Each structure stands twice: as structure tokens, then as C-alpha cells.
Amino acid sequence: MNVLVLLIPISLILGGLGLLAFIWTLRARQYDDPEGHAARILIDDKD
């Protein structure tokens, strides 16, 4: 059972990283135009 002392903090930290990543995407306005972002990768760069 001692392994829990290690595993629980690790799982919480990993989950927390996911949460931070989500907050970052939210702040970077990545949910403002989901369809547009999906389509834009198909446009050729001109330069």
C-alpha cells in the first residue's frame, strides 16, 4: 500500500497538467472558431 503515497500525487499532477493545458487553450482562444481552424490547415501558404 506504500506505493499509493507515490502514485496518487503522480496521478493528480498528471491530471493537473491536463487542466493547465485546457486553461491555456481557452486563454489562447482556440475554441472561438473550431470549424475554421480545422479547415485552415488545408489552405496552402503563399510564402
- Site residues (vs other proteins, CB under 8 A): 1, 4, 8, 11-12, 15-16, 18-19, 22-23, 26, 31-36, 39-40, 42-43
- Which is nearer to other proteins, 1 or 6 (by Cβ)? 1
Q: In angstroms, what is the minimal distance from the CB of 34 to other proteins? A: 6
Minimum CB–partner distance for residue 25 and other proteins (Å): 9
Task: Tell me the C-alpha to C-alpha distance, in Å, between residue 19 and each of 14, 16, 24, 26, 40.
Answer: 9, 5, 9, 11, 26
Amino acid at 47: D
Beta-sheet strands, E only, within the chain: none
